[in-house]
Structures are given as structure tokens and as C-alpha cells.
Amino acid sequence: MSIYFVVQEEVKDQDGLQEYMEAAKSSTLGRGRALVVDDNVLPIEGEWHGSRLVILEFEDEEAFRDWYESPEYQNALPLRLAATDSRGALVKGLK
């Protein structure tokens, strides 16, 4: 069953986010794929956090953990956290 990493972000430092995206490229290694990267989210209901939404799809939680906990991504992650105020969640797809 697919699993999705959903991240809402308020970008505080666009240059820092660009630096993160360059650093994060080396971490993908075929582990997942980006389904949504939207820098101009239009909130419809409730309180929304930031203007950026990213949804990444992985085959399963093991593939997500393999990517997220990889040395390549762990090197990039502090750049994203410094450049954004982020909220992230792992959600399961339908069977």
C-alpha cells in the first residue's frame, strides 16, 4: 500500500529552500516520487499553514524510512527546517 509524506510549509528563506532542494536531489535515489509541489496553495477550509504544499509518494513505510533516514536526506533536512516553518505527516493510501 502506498504511503504519502505530506508537508505544509511557510517559506521564510527562499534562497535557503533552493539550497535545500539542490541538496535533497541526491537523496531520492528512486525511493519515491513527488506528486505535488505547489508554492501557491489556495486554502478553502479552516486554518492553513503557509503557502507551500509538498506530497511525496512511497511504495510503503519502509521505502519512506529508507529515504527519510538516509544520510543524504539527513544532510539536506536541516536546510529545509532552517528555511521554512514546516508541518509534516505520513498518511496511508487506500488499499
| CB neighbour list of residue 3: distance below 8 Å, 6 or more residues apart | 57, 58, 59, 60, 61, 63, 64, 90, 91, 92, 93
Number of domains in the chain: 1
Taken in order 26, 30, 32, 33, is the CA torsion positive or negative?
positive
Q: What confidence score (pLDDT) does residue 28 get?
A: 72
pTM over 0.85: yes
Q: What confidence score (pLDDT) does residue 31 get?
A: 77
SS3 68: helix
Q: What confidence score (pLDDT) does residue 27 get?
A: 83
CATH code for the domain of 25: 3.30.70.100
Question: Measuring CA to CA, which residue among 6, 3, 19, 4 is closest to residue 81?
Answer: 19
Per-residue pLDDT of the chain (95 residues; tens, 9 = 90+): 899 999 999 999 999 999 999 998 888 756 789 999 999 999 999 989 999 999 999 999 999 999 999 999 999 999 999 999 999 999 998 87
How many Å apart are CA 5 and CA 54, to the nearest integer?
8
Residue-range definition of the domain harbouring residue 23: 3-92
